[in-house]
DNA sequence: CTGAAAGCGCTAACAT
DNA sequence: ATGTTAGCGCTTTCAG
């Protein structure tokens, strides 16, 4: 029944001031005398008044809402990122309108709906935008930042970790660990992260005179990764090590090898992943992996977005943040790491 | 630069009709002749017009936004639920404003902000609302439904699974499997789900003449569950079986027992969980558990919410949906299950 | 500092 | 079926 919200008008009447006075008191930059403010506040409290954000947004043209598209939530990296993003945004007074682009649901449609809702900015996690879509956002003056996904598009900001470097170091680590036949269950090669990690891994191998024995695209999916692993290892010459394009697939690979093929890890085969999701530290997997700096990635994403919201002339920027190798027990490794010369390098950079 | 959105006015001018004609064409129930509609559509397309949802909501008083509060996302049950809820809501033309009540961040604050945004309804997953908060929502005329959490509050709708029944059947299953010393790492006893499962499990044991050897509150947290498991099993008389208040804790318990205490599952001890999250089927855990009907819970939640949005006089309702035992290998079980008499029962009910 | 007045972009009577 | 006229609840000139 109570469809009668209390409005600024009601408060004004009770406080004996004009409605615009009420508005001023509730507007950050508003100028009002101490007395007026006090009267208004009292009346507002008594009535339980809260400004209608919709009306405010309609005028100011800023909704303080950020649209967030996420592709999937079964890879623990994303719930984790979502949690952090939401917290960071909330701290800055923004709210999050989420869209899950699960299967083949139309990202284009979602972007349109976000635009309809006058979002102040858009974060696309692990989904890519067509040029056309990017245009539409730009036309609407809405900044977009890609999270954990790149794009050959100068209009869009993006935040990733240094996938090339990470995959390369994993490759070197495996070689240093004495592995010869090395295979890969790559991330989806249709995505920039998948391609970059693939590229980085191959380059890393060549940099130490090794090369890739076999590679199958696991498409970041558990079932595909599992079957890839079985195909890779069920032959006469199974690999000694497998690099997985992300942790999520690495878990599937480990399960398949251990329980379907009865192999031991790292006894029969070493496994490394990419991301360092919380589960990678669970003893059942204890996965050696590359840690993507989730916290820094989120902070950078939010900073970048805010900068562009506050100043539309700011240019889009691409960030590739540094990660680090996290050594656990799923892969046989060298006695010491980082290798001495590397150590020197990183000192030199300080 | 393009801060100049195209409005219904622009479209009207170009189409040579009134602005309200434009509105009618874009309003579901609007009456407009085929010709007008065509002209308007053409003009709108040419201009790239899309109605401003904010302005619309301001008038209609309905934002088509649902506020969703989630406590944590590290338990896979919730990302999963979020994904389903978001999809179900989207299908009905609603959007989701998410709030993560991670630590002790104020749920009250979040509810207020949702109210400020004129959400049409609120879903609270795994968080409880004080009576005061419930009042505030009711005063604003916003229906609330609790997901996977109950409350002694007649004003709030709630959707859970039949926690009592589920925990009871798990208890009976363990006893039938020949376990004598049975312990529990309970869900957080400060929550209704935690208490119901605890109650159900104890009742289930007594129903077959058994009782609980030990119980520690794991508070739905991984680390607490792990240490509880160690305390439970590190003594002279370790239990033969442990019931965990949810799968998330069960994984922690299994890891702790296997890797810290070197125990075998189910050789040394049987473990059962509650939820049947996707990970429970992973071979590393292969957890016997109670399947909460996530899909049905989500559908019921959305239906309930929609019903109350469309008709404010609808009374809040409490639903406890049926789940089912999922037998895997983490617990020693009886040769056959369901027990014959049970079988008869369920047939009788058809 | 404060009130009056003009909208933000749209929907919903109300006439025609 | 369509145009005209009021607003939704608020911010923001503009006078004073």
Express each pLDDT in A66-106 by its tens digit. 999 998 899 999 999 999 999 999 999 999 999 998 766 68
Report CB contact under 8 Å: A54, B50. Answer: no
Mean pLDDT of chain B: 92
Express each pLDDT in A207-259 by its tens digit. 999 999 999 999 999 999 999 999 999 888 999 999 999 999 999 999 999 99
Residue A349 predicted with pLDDT over 80: no
Q: How far is the CA of A37 from the C1' of C3 (A)?
A: 15
Residues B49 and A306: their CA atoms lie apart, in Å, by: 27
Residue A345 predicted with pLDDT over 80: no
3-state helix vs strand vs coil in chain B, percent to 5:
45, 15, 40
Q: Where are the alpha helices (DSSP H) in B160-238?
A: 163-176, 192-207, 222-233
Residues A185 and B32: their CA atoms lie apart, in Å, by: 57
Question: Of the ranges A165-174, A217-226, A288-297, B14-23, which one carries the lowest mean pLDDT score?
Answer: B14-23
Cβ-in-10-Å burial (0-12, 13-18, 19+) of B58 comes to: middle
Nearest CA in chain A to B52: A116
Residue A1 predicted with pLDDT over 80: no
pLDDT at residue number A348: 45
Q: In this structure, what is the dihedral angle of CA atoms A317, A129, A81, A120, given to the nearest 10 degrees?
A: 70
Mean pLDDT of chain A: 92
Bridge-based pairing of strands A324-326 and A289-291 is antiparallel
**Which of B125, B132, B251, B284 to probe by mutation at the A interface, max A CB count within 10 Å?**
B284
pLDDT at residue number A326: 97
Residues A29 and B310: their CA atoms lie apart, in Å, by: 39
Question: Of the ranges A251-260, B24-33, B274-283, which one carries the lowest mean pLDDT score?
Answer: B24-33
**Which of A4, A76, A79, A99 to probe by mutation at the B interface, max B CB count within 10 Å?**
A79
pLDDT at residue number A73: 94
Peptide bond into B307 cis (omega under 30): no
Q: In this structure, what is the dihedral angle of CA atoms B131, B136, B139, B144, given to the nearest 10 degrees?
A: -70
Under the banding of pLDDT at 50, 70 and 90, the label for residue A302 is very high
Which comes out higher in pLDDT, residue A211 or A345? A211
DSSP E strand stretches across chain A: 65-70, 95-100, 121-125, 144-147, 157-161, 182-186, 212-217, 241-244, 270-272, 289-291, 318-321, 324-326
Express each pLDDT in B141-169 by its tens digit. 999 999 999 988 888 999 999 999 999 99
- Residue range A153-172: mean pLDDT, rounded: 95
Decide: helix, strand or coil at residue A189: coil
Which comes out higher in pLDDT, residue A273 or A131? A273
Whether the CB of B282 is below 8 Å from some CB of chain A: the reply is yes
**Torsion sign across C-alpha atoms A283, A289, A295, A301:** negative
Express each pLDDT in B186-236 by its tens digit. 999 999 999 999 999 999 999 999 999 999 999 999 999 999 999 999 888
Peptide bond into B266 cis (omega under 30): yes
Bridge-based pairing of strands A95-100 and A65-70 is parallel
Q: Which nucleotides of D are covered by protein (CB under 7 A)?
A: 1-5, 7-13
CA angle A253, A258, A264 (to 5 degrees): 110
Residues A274 and A260: their CA atoms lie apart, in Å, by: 23
Residue B347 predicted with pLDDT over 70: no
pLDDT at residue number A285: 98
Q: In this structure, what is the dihedral angle of CA atoms A237, A240, A242, A248, given to the nearest 10 degrees?
A: 110
Express each pLDDT in B39-66 by its tens digit. 999 999 999 999 999 999 999 999 999 9
Residue B326 predicted with pLDDT over 50: yes
pLDDT at residue number B155: 84
The Cα-based distances of B111 to A345, B66, B107, B122, B287 in angstroms read 52, 11, 6, 8, 37
pLDDT at residue number A4: 67
Q: Which residues of A touch B60 (CB under 8 A)?
A: none
Residue B4 predicted with pLDDT over 90: no
The two tokens of residue A197 are 């990690």
Quick one: DSSP state of residue B188? P
Q: How far is the CA of A56 from the C1' of D3 (A)?
A: 29
Measured in Å, how far apart are chain B's first and last C-alpha atoms? Answer: 66
pLDDT at residue number A30: 76
CA atoms within 13 A on the CB side of A335: 1
Residues B53 and B208: their CA atoms lie apart, in Å, by: 59
- Report the residue from B2, B63, B82 with minimal CB separation from A54: B63
Which residues contact residue A328 at a Cβ distance below 8 angstroms, ignoring those fewer than 6 apart?
A: A280, A281, A286, A287, A288, A289
pLDDT at residue number A2: 46
Taking only residues 178 to 197 of chain A, the set having a beta carbon closer than 8 angstroms to any beta carbon of chain B reads none
Percent of chain A at pLDDT above 70?
A: 95
Report CB contact under 8 Å: B118, A65. Answer: no
pLDDT at residue number B132: 87
Considering only CA atoms, give the Rg of chain A: 26
- Residue range A124-144: mean pLDDT, rounded: 90
Neighbours of A119 (CB within 10 A): 25
pLDDT at residue number A157: 95
φ/ψ of residue A238, rounded to 5: -65, 150
- Residue range A259-266: mean pLDDT, rounded: 97
Residue B245 predicted with pLDDT over 80: yes
Report CB contact under 8 Å: A99, B83. Answer: no
Whether the CB of A303 is below 8 Å from some CB of chain B: the reply is no
Under the banding of pLDDT at 50, 70 and 90, the label for residue A33 is confident
- Residue range B111-139: mean pLDDT, rounded: 92
**What would the DSSP string read from start to end of B101-129?**
--SS--HHHHHHHHHHTT-SEEEEES---
pLDDT at residue number B341: 63
């Amino acid at each position: 029944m109570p469809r009668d919200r209390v409005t600024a008008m009601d408060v004004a009447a009770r406080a004996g001031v004009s409605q615009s006075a009420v508005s001023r008191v509730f507007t950050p930059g508003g100028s009002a005398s101490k007395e007026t403010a006090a009267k208004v506040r009292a009346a507002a409290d008594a009535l339980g008044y809260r400004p209608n954000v919709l009306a405010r947004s309609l005028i100011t043209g800023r909704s303080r809402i950020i649209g967030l598209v996420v592709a999937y939530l079964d890879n623990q990296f994303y719930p984790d990122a979502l949690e952090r993003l939401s917290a960071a945004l909330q701290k800055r007074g923004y709210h999050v309108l989420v869209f899950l682009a699960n299967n083949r649901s139309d990202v284009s449609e979602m972007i349109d709906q976000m635009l309809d809702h006058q979002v102040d900015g858009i974060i696309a996690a692990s989904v890519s935008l067509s040029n056309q879509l990017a245009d539409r956002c730009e036309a609407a003056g809405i900044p977009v930042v890609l999270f954990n996904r790149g794009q050959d598009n100068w209009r869009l900001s993006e935040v990733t970790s240094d996938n090339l470097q990470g995959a390369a170091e994993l490759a070197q680590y495996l070689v240093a660990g004495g592995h010869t036949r090395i295979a890969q269950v790559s991330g989806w090669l249709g995505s920039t992260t998948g391609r970059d990690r693939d590229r980085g891994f191959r380059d890393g191998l060549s940099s130490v005179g090794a090369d890739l024995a076999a590679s199958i695209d696991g498409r970041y999916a558990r079932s595909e990764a599992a079957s890839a692993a079985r195909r890779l290892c069920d032959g006469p010459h199974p690999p000694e090590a497998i690099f997985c394009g992300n942790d999520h697939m690495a878990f599937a690979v480990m399960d398949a090898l251990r329980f379907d093929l009865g192999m031991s890890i790292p006894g029969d085969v070493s496994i490394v992943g990419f991301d360092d999701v919380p589960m990678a530290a669970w003893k059942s997997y204890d996965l050696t992996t590359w840690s993507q700096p989730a916290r820094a990635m989120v902070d950078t994403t939010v900073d970048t977005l805010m900068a562009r919201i506050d100043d539309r002339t700011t240019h889009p920027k691409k960030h590739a943040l540094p990660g680090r190798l996290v050594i656990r027990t799923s892969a046989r490794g060298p006695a010491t790491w980082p290798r001495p010369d590397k150590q020197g390098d990183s000192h030199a950079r300080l």
